[in-house]
């Protein structure tokens, strides 16, 4: 399954690798880079990142990989919307078209499932079996897992946007970390 130990190993090694790389990097930080830890919003960004991961992986364990991928794809539209709202970033029309296409694809997939259910309830298809208590609890669990993944996707998008806001707000800190000091992007 999606949460069997072999499937989760890349996530474990990713977390271990990021932690070790971060700890090793501390030894080479200069005074300007240490100011990142005291920047307003840095710890909020850290908390949002942690919550994102917790919600995403908890939801993945419940819903499985197919549903997870479908819901997690909402991260891109959320990032665009949050960038526009929180950062006042200008987003070109062609990117909005891409966001609309992705959102329409997600909605179409969800709508197909909804219409199937409506047709069954209207008697247009074979009548569905009478739900058992176990089936109802299973559907509630799947809905809860889906909500966790959706919330995790939102927090993941928020983490990207807050990261841009927090880490690129100070030109001196940005330049010390390799950015150009203007927009947070590492340009030569």
Question: At which residue do the structure tokens 């499985």 appear?
Answer: 64
Answer whether 0.85 is exceeded by the pTM.
no
Q: Is the pLDDT of residue 184 over 60?
A: no
Determine contact, residues 51/162, Cβ cutoff 8 Å. no
Q: How far apart are CA 176 and CA 29, in angstroms?
A: 9
Q: What 3-state DSSP class applies to 41?
A: coil
Tell whether the model's pLDDT for residue 178 goes beyond 70: no
Query: Angle CA(89)–CA(36)–CA(185) in degrees, nearest 5?
Result: 35
| CB atoms inside a 10 Å sphere around CB 28 | 7
User: Residue 167 pLDDT more than 70?
Assistant: yes
- CA atoms of 36 and 170, how far apart (whole Å): 10
Report the pLDDT value the prediction gives residue 115, as an integer from 0 to 100: 66
| pLDDT for position 47 | 87
**Helix 42-63 crosses helix 65-72 at what angle (to 10 degrees)?**
140
Cα 15 to chain centroid, rounded: 16
Task: Encode pLDDT of 103-147 as tens digits.
Answer: 888 777 766 666 666 666 666 666 566 677 887 788 888 889 889
Q: Are 154 and 143 in contact (CB under 8 A)?
A: no
Rounded Cα gap, residues 167 and 161, in angstroms: 10
Q: Is the dihedral of CA 106, 48, 36, 23 positive or negative?
A: negative
Measured CA to CA, the distance from residue 15 to residue 22 in angstroms comes to 11
Map tokens 């030109």 to a residue: 171
């Amino acid at each position: 399954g999606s949460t069997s130990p072999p499937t989760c190993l890349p996530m474990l090694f990713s977390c271990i690798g990021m932690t070790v790389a971060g700890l090793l990097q501390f030894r080479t930080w200069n005074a300007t880079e240490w100011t990142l830890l005291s920047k307003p919003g840095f710890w909020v960004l850290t908390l949002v990142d942690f919550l994102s991961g917790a919600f995403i992986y908890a939801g993945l364990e419940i819903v499985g990989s197919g549903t997870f991928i479908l819901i997690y794809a909402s991260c891109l539209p959320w990032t665009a919307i949050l960038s526009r709202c929180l950062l006042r970033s200008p987003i070109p029309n062609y990117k909005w078209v891409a966001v609309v296409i992705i959102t329409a694809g997600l909605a179409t997939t969800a709508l197909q499932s909804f219409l199937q259910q409506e047709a069954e309830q209207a008697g247009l298809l074979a009548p569905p079996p009478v739900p058992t208590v176990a089936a109802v609890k299973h559907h509630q669990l799947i809905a809860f897992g889906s909500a966790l993944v959706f919330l995790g996707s939102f927090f993941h998008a928020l983490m990207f946007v807050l990261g841009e806001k927090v880490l690129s707000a100070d030109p001196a800190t940005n330049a010390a970390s390799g950015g150009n000091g203007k927009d947070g992007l590492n340009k030569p």
